[in-house]
Amino acid sequence: MILVVAEKAIAGERISTILAEKKVSPSMEGGAKFFLFEHKTEQYITVPLRGHVSDVDFPKKYSYWLGTDLRKLAVAEIEYRDTEKPILDFLRKVAKDVELVIIATDNDREGESIGFEAINALKEGNPKIKVKRALFSAITPKDIDTAFDSLEDADKNMADSADSRREIDLVWGAVLTRFLSLVSGRLGKQFLSMGRVQGPTLALIVNREKERLAFNPKDFWEIAAVFSKGSKKFEASHKNGKFWDKEEAEKAFDCKNLPKGIVTKVTKKKRTLKKPFPFNTTSFLAAATSIGFTAGRAMRLAESLYQSGFISYPRTDNLAYPPTIDLKAILKSLENVVELRADVQKILALGKISPSAGKVSKDHPPIHPVAPVAREKLQPDVWKVYELVCRRFLATLAEDAITENLSVDIDLNAQPFVATGQVFVKKGWKEVYPYSKATEVFLPSLAEKDVLDLVDLNFASKQTQPKPRYSQGSLLKVMSELNLGTKSTRADIIQKLLARNYIFGKTTLEPNKIAFAVIESLEQHAPVISKPNMTADLEKEMDFIAAGKKKKPDVVNESREALSKALEILLEHKNDVGSHLRKALISDSIIGDCPTKGCGGQLMIRKGRATGKRFLGCSNYPKCTTTYPLPQKGSLSPIEERCPECGNIMIHLKGPRMSFKMCIDYNCPSKEEWKKRSAEKAAKKTAKDKKEGTKKK
């Protein structure tokens, strides 16, 4: 019998169905799912895993935070423990009947590591079992048949590379997290998380915020005009752009005294807007975050589409389609998708297909569709990601866009103005890729010496702005450039920082006071943890393991040595670090002054000892017993404005799917509508419970 190991159930079922050339139903035994079928007269069994089926951890003697010496933890032995025992026990049981095992997990380092977890369990039951590897980038009949007809050897170096990351991240994460949590007194569910990649990533966000806070805005002035020719109005701006001297700007503004402009020059130029490169992981996530997804969710949805056989493997650095991909065949298949048909036919009508191409990587092909699927068969968010991938694919095969750009110089009382227009001569890829706006600005027909009427002249006072905060997309790009993490882990790192409440924000990422304190402490006492250099160097070392140039134990031990050196410095300054963090924790929990007359205390976010629920309480407790209930979900931050209804403190509540301002006083008139909705909801629930209770009787 031949045993196929798949990474997840959905992939296992699809691979089995392709090999069997018919729908294959799952069977269950002791909590393990498997698929039995025949392929080329051989008996096959596919056993899907659930991702990693074993995990790295320390021996139990290190599980007590308060009683563990962090120096010993940094060099402690590491164990691999079964996390999916029913699956592993099933593999051990059937191993004796298996002649060959084919690893068909994701074709990357993580997939290789997962495959070897299955191999280790199988060899416990059958040490002589033969092992082969099926390598594919899409779960389609063509890709699976090709992979299973040309099996390769499993790559232990690739698995070791992934496992070295798991071991290194375990040690760094455990030591740094425990250190920060212990010295700050922040234990339990509110512990302060830190890790090898988390540190420099959080430092990027904090340091960008510091730049913004230190930014000194500079005043400038702009002059904009509205002209008309006949009945057609259009805008123009002063050719100087920004005026840094107010007197000079005011002098230029005096041109309004002569309300006639004269066209002095008309310039026409054609401009080519190159079609975009295919999606790699970084550019895909940047595009997905720009249309409302978090990076983590976008990647999960892309993985589900890959496992279902609709798109290629979504973890790749490649920006060029390999010649083995039949682009025209994929295009023709997409004609079956109603929402894409018209745009697909436009590209097919071009005849020759010339895809765009960026940097070539010896990796999976760029992310692209591999099979059509009807919109109604996917959940709305899944369809949104599928359509994004499809339309990017179409854009890479379309023609470049061409615009005609018009620049018109206008003299207004000896002051130079310029109007610019843009129209599309050929929309090309812009027509099939709506995520990139095709902006057109139309000007009337203008020629030299035309006299124009001045309709309006605007004098605007402005200030320079600091660099914007990072979005998830822009942060992913910088992480990639600095070699922080991998294409497979970067989205998870950002998600972890959000989950640990170091940062918040849907469109842009903003750090809280605790994030500032953590990074300031690390930069002052152990900068190696907050700088990208060490992390990037370790990534290269892991590449060497994958290439067979270094051994896993050597790289792991070298990283432990670097951690131990940083830890010694942190322990030497633990009182300073702890004090800095505790002050930040207190400051971060303060919402505002206590409204009780004569109290003088401050309202702070507290947690009930018995319930664990958060509420606002006065810092002068028990002298002052003023309290306010709080929502139990979302991050809270104070805002300067006061409630327009009662004048009390307002807070900003943010969460993954919410962002709004609210008064802290439950009895405020602004809460009446909310109370009414809550009462109606409670009444409906009571009525439903009564109805269900009557049915049961």
- Rg over CA atoms, the chain: 31
Is residue 68, in this structure, part of any structural domain at all? no
Percentage with pLDDT > 70 across the chain: 99
Is residue 577, in this structure, part of any structural domain at all? yes
Is residue 79, in this structure, part of any structural domain at all? no
Instruction: Return d(Cα 492, Cα 489) in angstroms, integer.
Output: 5
Of 435, 463, 491, which residue is a domain's last? 463
Q: Note the pLDDT tens digit of each residue in 269-307.
A: 999 999 999 999 999 999 999 999 999 999 999 999 999
Averaged pLDDT score across all residues of the chain: 92
Instruction: Assess whether pLDDT exceeds 70 at residue 69.
Output: yes
Instruction: Assess whether pLDDT exceeds 80 at residue 379.
Output: yes
CA distances for 336 relative to 139, 249, 382, 632, angstroms = 19, 59, 18, 47
Percentage with pLDDT > 90 across the chain: 74
Cβ burial 471-490 (10 Å sphere, 16+ → b, else e): bbbbbbbebbebbbbbbbbb
List strands edge to edge, sheet with 635-642.
635-642, 649-655, 658-663
Range of the domain at 619: 594-668
Tokens 């900068």 belong to 527
Q: What is the CATH number of the domain that holds 23?
A: 3.40.50.140
Tokens (6 digits) for 10: 């959905």
Count Cβ atoms below 10 Å from residue 555 Cβ, excluding itself: 22
**265 and 301, same structural domain?**
no
Higher pLDDT among residues 259 and 311, named by residue: 311
Instruction: Return d(Cα 160, Cα 440) in angstroms, integer.
Output: 54
**354 and 289, same structural domain?**
yes
**42 and 150, same structural domain?**
yes
pLDDT of residue 657: 66
**Per-residue confidence band for 182, with pLDDT thresholds at 50, 70 and 90:** very high
Give the residue-averaged pLDDT of 375-393: 96
**138 and 40, same structural domain?**
yes
Q: What is the CATH number of the domain that holds 195?
A: 1.10.460.10
Instruction: Return d(Cα 537, Cα 75) in angstroms, integer.
Output: 20
Q: Clarify whether 313 is annotated catalytic.
A: yes
**143 and 287, same structural domain?**
no
Instruction: Assess whether pLDDT exceeds 90 at residue 355.
Output: yes
**477 and 616, same structural domain?**
no
pLDDT of residue 165: 95
Q: How would DSSP label each residue in 579-620? A: HHHHHHHHHHHEEEE--STTT--EEEEEE-TTT--EEEEETT
Q: Is the pTM of this model over 0.75?
A: yes
> Is the distance from CB of 129 to CB of 98 less than 8 angstroms?
yes
pLDDT of residue 504: 84
Which spans in 185-294 are helix H? Answer: 198-214, 246-253, 281-290
- Say which DSSP state 275 is in: P
Amino acid identity, residue 173? G
Tokens (6 digits) for 315: 């973890």
Q: How would DSSP label each residue in 112-124? A: HHHHHHHHHHHHH
Specify the 3-state DSSP secondary structure of 230.
coil
Is residue 197, in this structure, part of any structural domain at all? yes
Active-site pick, 44, 306, 313, 321? 313
pLDDT of residue 696: 54
**Per-residue confidence band for 695, with pLDDT thresholds at 50, 70 and 90:** low
Instruction: Assess whether pLDDT exceeds 70 at residue 111.
Output: yes
Specify the 3-state DSSP secondary structure of 154.
coil
Specify the 3-state DSSP secondary structure of 474.
helix
Give the residue-averaged pLDDT of 592-608: 86
**650 and 567, same structural domain?**
no
Q: Which residues, in sequence order, are CB contacts of 605 under 8 Å at separation 6+? A: 589, 591, 614, 615, 616, 630, 636
Is residue 63, in this structure, part of any structural domain at all? no
**Per-residue confidence band for 656, with pLDDT thresholds at 50, 70 and 90:** low
Q: Note the pLDDT tens digit of each residue in 448-466.
A: 999 999 999 999 999 999 9
Give the residue-averaged pLDDT of 488-505: 90
pLDDT of residue 641: 84
11, containing H or E segment: helix 9-20
Instruction: Assess whether pLDDT exceeds 60 at residue 697.
Output: no
Q: What is the CATH number of the domain that holds 408?
A: 2.70.20.10
Of the listed ranges 153-162, 184-193, 240-249, 257-266, the one predicted with least confidence = 184-193
Is residue 589, in this structure, part of any structural domain at all? no
Give the residue-averaged pLDDT of 220-226: 96
Of 582, 608, 629, which residue is a domain's last? 582
**519 and 450, same structural domain?**
no
**125 and 113, same structural domain?**
yes
Is residue 69, in this structure, part of any structural domain at all? no
Any bridge partners for residue 658, and if so which? Answer: 655
Overall number of domains in the chain? 5
Give the residue-averaged pLDDT of 60-68: 91
Q: Which residues, in sequence order, are CB contacts of 330 under 8 Å at separation 6+? A: 368, 369, 370, 393
pLDDT of residue 293: 92
**149 and 13, same structural domain?**
yes
**306 and 375, same structural domain?**
yes
pLDDT of residue 553: 96
Of 553, 582, 611, which residue is a domain's last? 582
Is residue 691, in this structure, part of any structural domain at all? no
**409 and 270, same structural domain?**
yes
